[in-house]
Amino acid sequence: MKALDLPFKDKLYRFALNIVGNTYDAEDIMQELLIKIWNRIDQYNEIENKEAWCMTVTRNMAIDKTRNRREASQDISDFHHLRDSDDTQDKKLEDAERFGSIMALVNQLPEKQRMILHLRDVEGYTYQEIADMTESTLDFVKVSLHRARKTLKDELLKRNFKKYEA
């Protein structure tokens, strides 16, 4: 038998991780997805856009897993690593605090906005692909992304002004 090849499996994993917030659940979702595909390989081979189908199934499984846990928020700050090892400790601490602040703001966004922001700005999907994956309209995706970005921008500006006023 031929091994199952998913060239976009890293995207699927990151997407699941973004929703569930921990590596164990994201890995479980990936395993469940592969089993689902393997058990229905003939049907899977007939799917025209396999990546979009897999993203939709991954999203649904991740949301189900999150609902089962009943956790209200997710924190993905543990998954960010600074690349420049030449920075001073002060610079590293400042960057970590800044990133933590941004991630705290992102995690306060409504679930749909957070998901759409991730799919567009991290994964690079088009508006139409996101609409298909999230089973939303194109207008809803555009409005949600605009609102998420505006909320983040307004909050960041508000925090920076407060910092300089002190």
d(CA 32, CA 118): 22
Let me know: does 45 contact 37? Beta carbons within 8 Å: no
* Cα-only R_g, the chain: 18
HSE (side-chain half, CA atoms, 13 Å) at 156: 15
Average pLDDT score, the chain:
82
Map out the domains of the chain as residue ranges: 9-69, 88-165
Query: What angle, rounded to 10 degrees, do the helices at 50-69 and 23-39 form?
Result: 130
User: What is the tens place of the pLDDT at every residue in 16-54?
Assistant: 999 888 899 999 999 999 999 999 988 988 989 989 999
Higher pLDDT, 164 or 161: 161
Task: Please write the tens of the pLDDT for every residue from 104-140.
Answer: 888 889 989 999 998 998 888 999 999 998 899 999 9
Per-residue pLDDT of 54-87, as tens digits, reads: 999 999 999 888 887 754 445 555 555 545 556 6
Match 């194109």 to its residue by tokens.
Answer: 138
Q: Select from 1.10.10.10, 1.10.760.10, 1.10.1060.10, 3.30.360.10 the CATH code of 88-165.
A: 1.10.10.10
- Checking if the pLDDT of 89 tops 90, the result is no
